[in-house]
Structure 1
């Protein structure tokens, strides 16, 4: 399990220590605060989960959560509310604020641990999903291809490439130093066409070299073998 930092915010010191002890036994790193004011003095963005008591001093758990959800750095931190109040309206308030779970007191430690694990697991899945959705970048020096946006830039200036030119450059730049035969390039770039001449590849390579300026010389011809992006 990856190490996750959890902050427990509750004005009952004994309860904070009990939760800290049991969650640390599960492998989490746990800090505690006995008021919202105390919690706000901490570096909150470093936590992967907050356990907030609803009924606390001047700043309630609901108010603290509202504050955090409005800040970009803390808006995505999962929150579990801990409360002695189990009225339906209170639960709805918590979920409307953006709570990930709501546990009514008194509760068993096993229940809290199980719910914490579930919320942390969901948070980890979201992060993995976000990683997959990040823009895919292929580059050499200042020749940059944004595969997600189908965009190519040289020294920060966008270069207009046709679809075939883009696919050829993506293929060569993505595996720098590898020689691709004309047959390989045809099979990977001209997948839909029934019949394409080798000359078509040569023409596209020539245009591509001109368009990417100083990096055109990196696309080299290996006589009798094919093309590669040489570094």
Structure 2
């Protein structure tokens, strides 16, 4: 299997060249975009296997690009590594909530960025393989339907617009109803044990997931001092 194609989006030419050089040296194909609009066109054409996306872009910024991509059929599961000068937790949480898979803050080490890209690609390949094996393993809990193969959730027959992370959290909890999981266990199961994310971001994603689930949001129960569990009955 050949190396994947990485779409790099940044409005700084020297950053684009630095990342292009290091990715090319590792054998990856590289596409470059200086604006959010260009990035959206690349994704619409179905070209990249992963996107490195700067947060601070002129016009359509990185968060809006992520939001729009996650609404597209082609972009729903596209791995996204956010590249940003903003290291504040709020920015990281917002990006993860919208469906980004990882983040690297500027100034950055090209070696670390390449390592993160490899890690995200491996995670997605594993998830894709498990989804193919488990495509008949549809979970049906009352009128809530979770289809891992299609990466789809239906509540009372209506599809829910979940982000990649929200879907993975829901699927992880729903497969083991009644079991209590800590925030760290949820992060490890979804993103791997080297994922730099805080307990706070898990809580934020759970809040967003409950809102999207509507009445079914009550199935995700907070266990004080421990974490969360999924209830089969409302």
Length-normalised TM-score, structure 1: 0.56
2:27 counterpart residue number:
27
1:141 counterpart residue number:
none
1:100 counterpart residue number:
101
CA gap of 1:126–1:31, structure 2 versus 1, over 3 A, is same
CA deviation string 1:20-49 (max 9, x = no partner): 111111121111100011222224423111
CA deviation string 1:164-212 (max 9, x = no partner): xxxxxxxxxxxxxxxxxxxxxxxxxxxxxxxxxxxxxxxxxxxxxxxxx
Give, in whole Å, the separation in 1 of the partners of 2:2 and 2:122: 10
Give, in whole Å, the separation in 1 of the partners of 2:108 and 2:3: 25
SS at 1:85 equivalent: coil
SS at 1:70 equivalent: coil
Give, in whole Å, the separation in 2 of the partners of 1:73 and 1:8: 17
1:63 counterpart residue number:
64
Alignment partner of 1:133 is 2:134: yes
Instruction: Write out aligned runs for 1:177-192 (5 A).
Output: none
Offset of residue 111 of structure 1: 0.7
Offset of residue 112 of structure 1: 0.3
Offset of residue 2 of structure 1: 3.9
**Structure 1 residue ranges without an equivalent (≥5):** 136-231
Q: How many matched pairs?
A: 136
Offset of residue 95 of structure 1: 0.7
Length-normalised TM-score, structure 2: 0.55
Give, in whole Å, the separation in 2 of the partners of 1:94 and 1:2: 29
Offset of residue 99 of structure 1: 0.9
Give, in whole Å, the separation in 1 of the partners of 2:34 and 2:103: 19
CA contact (8 A) 2:22 2:110 kept: yes
CA deviation string 1:108-161 (max 9, x = no partner): 1111011011001111111211222346xxxxxxxxxxxxxxxxxxxxxxxxxx
Offset of residue 16 of structure 1: 0.7
**Structure 2 residue ranges without an equivalent (≥5):** 137-234
Instruction: Write out aligned runs for 1:49-60 (5 A).
Output: 49-60=50-61
SS at 2:42 equivalent: coil
CA contact (8 A) 2:43 2:75 kept: no
Instruction: Write out aligned runs for 1:1-231 (5 A).
Output: 2-44=2-44, 45-134=46-135
Specify the structure having the higher radius of gyration (Cα): 1
